[in-house]
Chain A
Amino acid sequence: MSSNEKLKYASWSRILASTSYFCITWGIFNLLCLVLTDIRDEKSLGNVLVWINLSIILNIFFLILNVILYRFFGGDIGKLVCGIKVKNADMQYLSIRDFLFREFIGKTFSGLFLFLGYFYIFFNKKSQAFHDLLTETYVFDSGLKRVLLGTLISTIFYVVSLFLFYNFIVSNKVLDRMENHLRILEIEMNQESPKNYGDEFQSLLK
């Protein structure tokens, strides 16, 4: 850890870091769904199960990743992108035990009483939430510019992933529907006398 870093207690920037974390993790989820979803029947039971399993597996993956990131870099992806670091009373990064305690036990306490524990950041001199008080940890940020930049990048990533995911599904659905209709038309053309298909094509393209 370099001693030249200009660090100050982070308060509102923590909310942006959480937003960034949300954007990055959901962005990755969207991109993976893009690959794994069966677009022919996107509402099938198989797909729903794939999405649920994927979210559970990703949660476990991010938990392990966060343990490593907190231990060696002082924060999760969202915090690191925004230049926020979590340290203990000795100004060291959190140990695995401290991290697990802070995440699971400490944050459960913070969530109680209408999330009062999180809002306590704004009423505490050292910007500590309940989970920071219980684990004796401090959260520092490294300036406004870095926080805003991190949030912007992660938000763009999320929006792009969302756009790709829905665009992919919608475009494939239209193609699939057109393909089916063409197949039906082909069969009809072979069986019956010719008729005007112009209107049907027009409605299809709409």
Chain B
Amino acid sequence: MKVSFGEIISNSFAMMFKNKWLYVLSSFAIVPVLAVIMIFLGSFVGEDGIQKTEPYRNNFSDIQNQDKYKEKISPETAINSAVFMFLVLLFIIIFIILGLYLVTYSSNALLYGVSFISENEDFSITEASLNARKNVWPIIGAHTISSIFSSFLLTPIIFLFNYFDNLLQNDNYVIFAIIGLVLSIFLFLGVVLIYYFSTNYLSYLILFKKKKFTMAIVYSYKLAVKNIFENFVYSFLQFFFFIFTGSIGLVVYLVLYGLLLGVVSLGGITTLLLGQLENISLSIIAIPTILLALFLGLAITQAVQLLKCLNSIFFYTYNYLFNKEILKNE
């Protein structure tokens, strides 16, 4: 095997505690860029999304048709509502673009930070940030084009799958249809996996190999096909680590959340009981309960945030070292 995964994983673990600035840079590198793009595209064009909005649209038209509402809404209110809806829509679009930028920038900066530390160079958060900023749009573009390209490849396969599924109803072509179905499933899985594997290389190629984003897409697909076994092992280990950290996170979350619920309910009960006695002020119990609940609430969010940061530092270090090993001999 080209890659020594044991060494990569131990180095990735060691990196998690090497530099405090990595925690800052990893703050928003939580969601992979790909997922954000898919959510963004899916929410606008997905059939599922359209179906989800159907009941709301029906409800809205019902309200519009009712005379009692028509009478109550003055023209000024209607205009204000329209302006409000427009501004909210504008803000949602800006928010999505900002989120996309933030996630990509954060992951770029984290990759640069990891590269500084693993190459034993002087770490500078400013330099990591400035380098990361330069490559945000090429990386967003590369991921978007790669997703669109894979969607183009997947569309005929889905049609093929549908065709064989219909053919299955015909008794004369059952065997032919089953073979076709199995083949189309394999083809579908193959395209999805190669697309997924290729996305592991995109950022590294653009950031460290200085490839243009079109070239990076082509090269990433080549690498994904060429190192198929390594990619499988890489993804499997990554998945395993996510399950592992996810379990730890869940335990931490449940313990703290349980404590929070306990404190609030205990405070509530004590307040109710002492409320029966006239000479004891309710604020004596209520204020400490609220303060403790706030503290625990903050502790939950910070603990979860810290775990997310650790997770993303591991993820991006692992990705960086894997890419480095793969591309060493290219």
Given A130-B24, A133-B125, A133-B126, the answer on whether A46 and B80 have CB atoms closer than 8 Å is: yes
* Closest beta carbon of chain A to B110's beta carbon, Å: 12
Given the complex of chains A and B, what is the CA–CA distance between A136 and B84 in angstroms? 37
Q: Mark B107-118, 1 if CB is under 8 A from A, else 0.
A: 001000000000
Question: How many residues of chain A are within 8 Å of chain B by beta carbon?
Answer: 22
A56–B305 touching, CB < 8 Å: no
> Is B153 an interface residue when CB atoms closer than 8 A count as contact?
no
Given the complex of chains A and B, what is the CA–CA distance between A101 and B130 in angstroms? 11
Q: Mark A102-146, 1 if CB is under 8 A from B, else 0.
A: 001100110011100100000000000010011110000000000
B305–A113 touching, CB < 8 Å: yes
B74–A46 touching, CB < 8 Å: yes
> Is B145 an interface residue when CB atoms closer than 8 A count as contact?
no
Question: How many residues of chain B are within 8 Å of chain A by beta carbon?
Answer: 26
Query: Which of these, A53, A105, A133, contacts B87 with CB under 8 Å?
Result: A53
> Is A45 an interface residue when CB atoms closer than 8 A count as contact?
yes
Residues in A whose Cβ lies below 8 Å from that of B126: 133-134, 136
Query: Which of these, A52, A53, A117, contacts B24 with CB under 8 Å?
Result: A117
Which chain B residues in 105-151 approach chain A with CB under 8 Å? 105, 109, 125-126, 129-130, 133
Given the complex of chains A and B, what is the CA–CA distance between A11 and B133 in angstroms? 26
* Closest beta carbon of chain B to A119's beta carbon, Å: 13
B80–A109 touching, CB < 8 Å: no
Which chain B residues in 81-114 approach chain A with CB under 8 Å? 81, 83-84, 87, 91, 98, 101-102, 105, 109
Residues in B whose Cβ lies below 8 Å from that of A105: 98, 101-102, 105
Given the complex of chains A and B, what is the CA–CA distance between A22 and B129 in angstroms? 29
Given the complex of chains A and B, what is the CA–CA distance between A108 and B23 in angstroms? 14
Which chain B residues in 40-93 approach chain A with CB under 8 Å? 74, 76-77, 80-81, 83-84, 87, 91
A49–B80 touching, CB < 8 Å: yes
> Is A68 an interface residue when CB atoms closer than 8 A count as contact?
no
* Closest beta carbon of chain A to B127's beta carbon, Å: 9
Given the complex of chains A and B, what is the CA–CA distance between A112 and B23 in angstroms? 11
Given the complex of chains A and B, what is the CA–CA distance between A133 and B105 in angstroms? 15
The main secondary structure of chain A at its interface with chain B is helix
Given the complex of chains A and B, what is the CA–CA distance between A198 and B101 in angstroms? 69
Residues in A whose Cβ lies below 8 Å from that of B81: 49
B77–A108 touching, CB < 8 Å: no
> Is B28 an interface residue when CB atoms closer than 8 A count as contact?
yes
Given the complex of chains A and B, what is the CA–CA distance between A46 and B77 in angstroms? 5
Given A104-B98, A112-B305, the answer on whether A136 and B130 have CB atoms closer than 8 Å is: yes
Q: Mark A91-109, 1 if CB is under 8 A from B, else 0.
A: 0000000000100110011
Given the complex of chains A and B, what is the CA–CA distance between A117 and B24 in angstroms? 9
Task: List 8 tightest A-B contacts by C-beta distance, closest first.
Answer: A49-B80, A134-B129, A46-B77, A56-B87, A136-B126, A112-B27, A53-B83, A133-B125
Q: A104-B98, A117-B24 are in contact. List 20 more A-B contacts (CB 8 A).
A: A46-B77, A46-B80, A49-B80, A49-B84, A52-B84, A53-B83, A53-B87, A56-B84, A56-B87, A105-B98, A105-B102, A108-B28, A108-B102, A112-B27, A112-B305, A113-B23, A113-B305, A135-B129, A136-B126, A136-B129
A binding-site residues for B, Cβ under 8 Å: 45-46, 49-50, 52-53, 56-57, 101, 104-105, 108-109, 112-114, 117, 130, 133-136
Instruction: List 14 A-B residue pairs with CB atoms under 8 Å apart, sorted by A's residue number.
Output: A46-B77, A50-B80, A52-B84, A53-B84, A105-B102, A109-B27, A112-B27, A113-B23, A113-B24, A114-B298, A130-B24, A133-B126, A134-B126, A136-B126
